[in-house]
Chains A and B, each alone.
Chain A
Amino acid sequence: MFALAVVGFLVAFGLVLSGRRKPAIAIAVVLMGVCIAFYYLHNYEVDWPW
């Protein structure tokens, strides 16, 4: 699941290089939400600091 977010960044940079601005921005906006979701998910799921 976390790896998909990193792959999402790879796709976003690929879209930028291939000249597709709006799809890249759309993925970036989705990734912003994903990052925040991961932050809260980790806070609930992990026993931190170990």
Chain B
Amino acid sequence: MVNDEVASAGSNENSQSGERSLSALFSDNKKFELLSDSQANSLFRFFNYFGLIVPMLVVLTAMGYQVIEDDLPCSHCNMQRLGYFMLALGPALNLRFGFRPSHYGISLAGAFFLGAVALDMMVRIANQNLPGWGPKALGLHMYGWSLVIAIIGGIALVIMLLWDRQFELSRMKEHRPSKKASGLLIAAFVIAFIVIGLDVVSVVLECGPGICPDTPPTNYPFSPF
């Protein structure tokens, strides 16, 4: 009985068209909608493409510094790269299978891990009164950027989790992702595969079969060349 009432209330809510008034934002009986369904869906997809590509580009930039300045990543730096990959996995799931809170949860775990490792690195360097470690980009060290990105990413994920409309839209047949991946999505995945593939090569050549060395070596110890 109660379930029927809840179901009918839910269907009424779905059929109700949204309003743009500010009062609708704070009323349980009104539905606040600033954008049309297709516009909102495109916006959510854009944010998720952003969340998939940006962490990969950050890791790619770090790899650029690694190759150009011949500066191998430390053990903490390699762990931060894992955090970036975890951060990007949630948007990848969202774009392929539709928006779900569980997918954002995976990214949130990545943001926590990335932030924790970056903060740990900063505290250890500060404890030793060292001026910093590694190359700087736009005035900040890499681990500094990692902490900034982890905080911004965490806040963005909380906002996305509060935004219920994407989960409602994802249940509608017309906004559900198709079973075949689009060209744009495949292109985004190709970037992800290239970046993670390059990291596999880097880690194999630097760390070999074990964990990564504490002091970054000056050359690749496991390189056959």
Contacts and interface: CB of A to CB of B under 8 A. Distances in A.
Interface in B173-223: 179, 181, 186, 189, 192-193, 196-197, 199-200, 203-204, 207-215
B83 interface: yes
Nearest to A27: B89
B125 interface: yes
Contacts of A3: 200, 203-204, 207-209
B76 interface: yes
Interface string A20-36: 01001100100110011
A2 B86 contact: no
Contact of B214 (A10, A28, A48): A48
A8 to B, nearest CB: 9
A24 B93 contact: yes
Interface in A1-50: 1-3, 5-7, 9-10, 12-14, 16-17, 19, 21, 24-25, 28, 31-32, 35-36, 38-39, 41-42, 45-50
Chain A interface main SS type: helix
Nearest to B215: A50
Contacts of B92: 13, 16-17
Contacts of B193: 10, 13-14
Contact of A16 (B93, B196, B214): B93
B109 A32 contact: yes
A17 B199 contact: no
B85 A9 contact: yes
B106 interface: yes
A46 B214 contact: yes
Contacts of B83: 35
A28 B89 CA distance: 8
27 contacts: A1-B207, A3-B203, A3-B204, A3-B207, A6-B81, A7-B200, A9-B82, A9-B86, A9-B196, A10-B197, A13-B193, A16-B89, A16-B92, A16-B189, A17-B181, A25-B102, A28-B89, A32-B113, A35-B83, A39-B79, A39-B117, A42-B76, A42-B211, A45-B211, A45-B214, A47-B214, A49-B128
Interface of A: 1-3, 5-7, 9-10, 12-14, 16-17, 19, 21, 24-25, 28, 31-32, 35-36, 38-39, 41-42, 45-50
